[in-house]
Amino acid sequence: MPEIERLTQYTPEVGEAVRGLLIELSRSGRDRGEIPKEWFLEVIDSPYHDLILAKNGEQILGMAVVSVTMGAIVRKNVYLEDFVVTSEARGQGIGTLIWDEIIRWGLEKGATDLEFTSGEGREAAWKFYQDKGAEIYKTNFFRKELHGRN
């Protein structure tokens, strides 16, 4: 049975496994290169971020990156940045194990809601989220790069 854990120690093997999962998550299969060790260390050291891993022994089957966000009205939310299970492990309940840990993590942080986006063409993911009780909001997502001009 796979185990769920929160990353507490960086190893190059974890770095490569997470990189591989992010390539799978990418629609284009794009490899954005090595994830800096410093990123993992920041996540490990922060009380506001975590990397949740599903593992079978040393093999990483899936992951989620979660962060606490804070607003003035709703004090704390959990933001789910990346959530992926290897194609070989899909349909085996790994996603549910990770999902349950995301919820547990958010409750431990005192969050009231879980927020995330899921792009077009991800119908299987949408069904999974709806089956877990997530509600789809009609919204627009904006992104502004923070370097360069205003």
pLDDT at 55: 97
The per-residue pLDDT for range 10-20, each reduced to its tens digit, is 999 999 999 99
Burial 92-104 (b: 16+ CB within 10 A, else e): bebbebbbebbee
Whether the pTM exceeds 0.85: the reply is yes
The per-residue pLDDT for range 108-120, each reduced to its tens digit, is 999 999 998 887 7
Superfamily name and number for 3-131: Gcn5-related N-acetyltransferase (GNAT) (3.40.630.30)
Cα separation, 107 vs 144, whole angstroms: 30
Segments of 32-125 assigned E as strands: 49-56, 59-70, 76-85, 113-115
pLDDT at 121: 76
The values of phi and psi at residue 41, to 5°, are -65, -40
User: Which residue in the block uniquely carries the two structure tokens 């993590």?
Assistant: 105
Return mean pLDDT, the chain.
Answer: 90
pLDDT at 98: 97
pLDDT at 53: 98
Mapped onto helix, strand or coil, the DSSP state of residue 46 is: coil
The per-residue pLDDT for range 23-56, each reduced to its tens digit, is 998 877 778 889 999 999 999 999 999 999 999 9
Cα separation, 125 vs 109, whole angstroms: 25
